[in-house]
Structure 1
Amino acid sequence: MPIATVNPANGETLKTYEAMGEEELERRLQLAEATFRTYRTTAFAERARLLNRAADLLDEDQPEIARVMTTEMGKPVKQARAEAAKCAKAMRWYADHAEELLADEEPAEADVKDSGASRALVRYRPMGPVLAVMPWNFPLWQVVRFAAPALMAGNVGLLKHASNVPQTALYLEDLFHRAGFPEGCFQTLLIGSGAVDDILRDERIKAATLTGSEPAGRAVASTASEMIKKTVLELGGSDPYVVMPSADVDRAARVAVTARVQNNGQSCIAAKRFIVHTDVYDRFAERFTEGMNALTVGDPLAEDTEVGPLASEQGRGDLEELVDDARRSGAQVLCGGERPDRPGWYYPPTVLAGVTREMRIHREEAFGPVATLYRAADLDEAVLIANDSPFGLSSNVWTRDGAEVDRFVRDLEAGGVYVNGMTASHPAFPFGGVKRSGYGRELSGHGIREFCNITTVWHGA
């Protein structure tokens, strides 16, 4: 796959880059290993100073980098600016909290005495160079939510970004360099996916994190397991959005539109399957379809655009296949469902009803602005439909009934349950999934500890 910026709004190739050769990759691996030896000894205060400086620079660069993201992968420019702001916020959060999150832990005095020790503690130590294989859909955020905690923990990072966002990838390396991080703390590797296996096998790489597709996750996990290296995987999602009779149905329908089409519908944590109790199904379906149909689809650089093009022609083709398969199998298209006659890789906001288990879209992730509606007779059936998915990233439930909330939190197979609101990541809360959505956690204290050597220190009496 070429490493190039291709504007999804018109298909125009804006910039192309040569993949790094073996000699340059070797130089960067050597640099990462050497830098780690000294960077790991820096104080938290110094790391925080550098990360806060990176956040300040990112705020200054926000208009420019937002435009780059939009021209590389098509997200509306207002959303691109919000992504940049969110990254700066996460950097500051980790700069403020990392030392506390990684503070030494002292076991209970009785347990220390029982072990025969005079003193014992648990210390979090950095592991070394970590390889990050990242996707294009949130080209800044996906990287920063790894890089901020990793750098604050004393690790160094090597980024293999998606091949269609090279300018964003290079910007990230430059950002950390301008902030004053030592050379080699964060490096971008302009390489194709075929080079990942060899890098992961290199003894200097101590761990890896990947956000992306199931096939990519399997490949990285397979090699990492063979090499006995720690990995964190965040893969696909087909999040349920459950609406019960006690909910504010009109508000649930309004939020549902945003929950489905954020980032042009290309988000792992976007709500995709809308499971509505039969008592309020018709009302929700009408309001939701009206909202989806009213969205402004257009040039992602225009301030009033709510839905831009999909990031690639292949992605649009994959989405069309899912919709066409559902339609042939009897699904009703309540809005959208037809490719527009215009340049670029656009696909309209689409709502499908009457989806059954036999349809591909019931089992596969629809990565674009396509929603599926399900009618549930009661809470039991809602939970059954919600869990009838190979994925388990997050979930959304709308109800004012406390007993129903308890039941959903207990029984939904997902890494998050968001009640009366849409899923959104925040640096203070752990993020990740179960089943084929991956394993491990990013963000919060759980995320920063994923790539630490959790060390027991025991002192004899």
Structure 2
Amino acid sequence: MLKVINPATGALLHEVAPDSQSDIERALETAKTRFKSWRLTSFKEKGDLLRAVAAHMRAHVEELAPLMTQEMGKPIKEARGEVEKAAWCAEHYAEHGEAYLAAEHLPSDATRSYVQHLPLGPVLGILPWNAPFWLAFRFAAPAIMAGNTCLMKHDPHVPACAKAIEEAFKAAGASDGLFKALLIETPAVEAVIRDPRIQAVSFTGSARGGAAVAAIAASEIKPAVLELGGSDPGIVLADADLDKAADVLTLSRIINAGQSCIAAKRLIIEEPVYDAMAEKLETRLAKLKLGDPAEETTDVGPIARANLRDELHRQVEATIEAGARCLMGGKMPNDPGFFYPVTLLADVTPDMCAFKEETFGPVAVLIKAKNAEAAIELANDTPYGLGAGIWTSAERGEDMARHIEAGQVAVNGIVKTDPRLPSGGIKKSGYGRELGPHGIREFVNAQQVWVGPAQG
């Protein structure tokens, strides 16, 4: 059984029976069959469907958002925003998918030569719990607009979210096989990846899980996109707008109770403004309300699971024992649910746990850098390379960006995912890109067409 615990109370929310082997077989075969006609569907028809899915979600925000709040603890005001953002993703690809996939004409010795972008077939998305709707549409909207069909294996802790996404497609008029949620446990995933009807895999999750998925997909010679963990740096230099930087870095760190891969986690502050920045961050973090995610006034909800909270607390304690100063938080609550206080650790150094490991929770760490060059070195001193933020003059920040080892860099702004722009990582943060024109081209056949006769 898929057992879902309400992270705000620690009580059992519901149990869901996983799909049977016959259910999985039916889903795979239906996805294969539907692909044969969907791949020939016009861009207009595909776009109309995605717009209808988006319209359904916008009309049912108040029914969909609470599912996230109940199953994984996202504050309700953030949950509403996630539903809206997922709808935006569907609308974006409905509007721009055809242009993103336009044939690329290339000169050669042919009378005419070009590359056209053709769908591959059923694509499997393997997704985590922390952004159930957004991550589903980040994977599915471009894949469907490109002419593929989608099977989604969502995290076992968000089955109601998974079924609601499937129902949104059905409500919009999608026929069987276009989009299907597979409610299966992790051990059953390998067989689905290996099934010859699956043509590609999109995985979002931990580096450990990504390595396993990548190995299986590679052994079957199937393309994969991996969006994995991150220990994103937020660099603040002495010439930055400190108040603006403090506002944005506070928000970045506590969105979804800090359970975000692209959240600013290691705050690297240039020495002349280190103390001032620490004070500004502490003031802002102290104002945040930790509590019931169903309440409109809550800023920070619970950690999604008890074991995740235990791991976060281990990292905090180890960092303090190694010499970091705890400016606020850091104490394990005794109340029901999996809450963890907003925590600020200062004077963190590269040998400490919170610097070396990804912290998935409302824990910010402050690291002092002698100058900009040292800040870059500290930023790159990680096995991850997902996102990074730089606070300085725009010109200086753009110059520094080329020296940062990350898939995306925000200068004087929040690191975020946007349907208009590609997102993804390097190093142990994964490979491939999602979103923007790059994302929709991950799961297509870039087919070269040469038309003769040859020219002299």
TM-score normalised by structure 2 residue count? 0.98
Pick one of 403, 406, 411 that aligns with 1:414. 406
Residues 353-392 of structure 1: matches in 2 within 5 Å? 353-392=346-385
Distance in 2, Cα, partners of 1:294 & 1:339: 19
Is 1:220 the equivalent of 2:213? yes
- Report the Cα offset of residue 235 of structure 1: 0.2
Contact 1:207 / 1:229 at 8 angstroms: preserved in 2? yes
CA distances 1:146-172 after superposition (whole Å, capped 9, x unpaired):
111111000000011001000000111
Distance in 2, matches of 1:96 and 1:6, equals: 39
Q: Structure 2: which amino acid aligns with 1:11? A: G
Residue type matched to 1:371 in 2? A
Q: CA deviation at 1:341?
A: 2.5
CA distance in 2, matches of 1:246, 1:401: 11
2:14 corresponds to 1:15: yes
Q: Which runs of 5+ in 1 are unaligned?
A: none
- Separation (CA, whole Å) in 2 of partners of 1:408 and 1:395: 11
How does 1:46-195 map onto structure 2 within 5 Å? 46-107=45-106, 111-112=107-108, 115=109, 117-195=110-188
Q: For the residues of structure 2 that align with 1:150 and 1:426, how far apart are their CA atoms?
A: 16
For 2:397, the aligned partner's letter is V
Inter-partner Cα distance in structure 1 for 2:132 and 2:420: 20
Deviation readout 1:294-346 (Å, 9 max, x if unpaired): 21001100000000101000110010010011111111101000012211000
Q: Report the Cα distance in structure 1 between the residues aligned to 2:38 and 2:201, rounded to whole angstroms.
A: 19
User: C-alpha separation between the residues in 2 aligned to 1:382 and 1:401?
Assistant: 17
Return the letter of the residue paired with 1:279.
P
Runs of 4+ in 1 over 3 A off after TM superposition: none
Give 1:431's aligned residue.
423
Q: Is the contact between residue 246 and residue 401 of structure 1 (CA under 8 Å) also seen in structure 2?
A: no
- The letter for the 2-side match of 1:275 is I
What does residue range 318-357 of structure 1 map to in structure 2 within 5 Å?
318-357=311-350
1:286-301 equivalence runs, <5 A: 286-301=279-294
Q: What letter is aligned with 2:239?
A: S
- Asked if 2 retains the 8 angstrom alpha-carbon contact of 1:4 and 1:166, the reply is no
Q: Is this contact kept in 1: 2:120–2:148, CA < 8 A?
A: yes
In the TM superposition, what is the alpha-carbon distance from 1:12 to its structure 2 partner?
A: 1.6
Gaps of 5+ in 2: none
CA contact under 8 A between 2:154 and 2:162: conserved in structure 1? Answer: yes
Deviation at 1:460, TM superposition (A): 1.4
State the match for 2:222 in structure 1: 229
RMSD: 0.9
Mapped contact 1:39–1:182 kept (Cα < 8 A) = no
| Per-residue deviation, 1:398 | 0.5
Classify the secondary structure of the residue corresponding to 2:111: strand
**Aligned residues of 2:394 and 2:412 also touching (Cα < 8 A):** no
Contact 2:35 2:178 in 1 (8 A): yes
> In 2, are the aligned partners of 1:5 and 1:167 still within 8 Å (CA)?
no
1:401, distance to aligned residue in structure 2 (A): 5.8
The residue correspondences of 1:200-349 to structure 2 (distance < 5 A) are 200-349=193-342
1:398 & 1:280 partners in 2: Cα distance? 12
Sequence identity, in percent? 45
Task: Name the CA distance, whole Å, in 2 between partners of 1:418 and 1:191.
Answer: 37
* Letter of the 1:407 counterpart: D
1:209-239: CA deviation from partner (whole Å, max 9, x where unpaired): 0000111101100011111100000000111
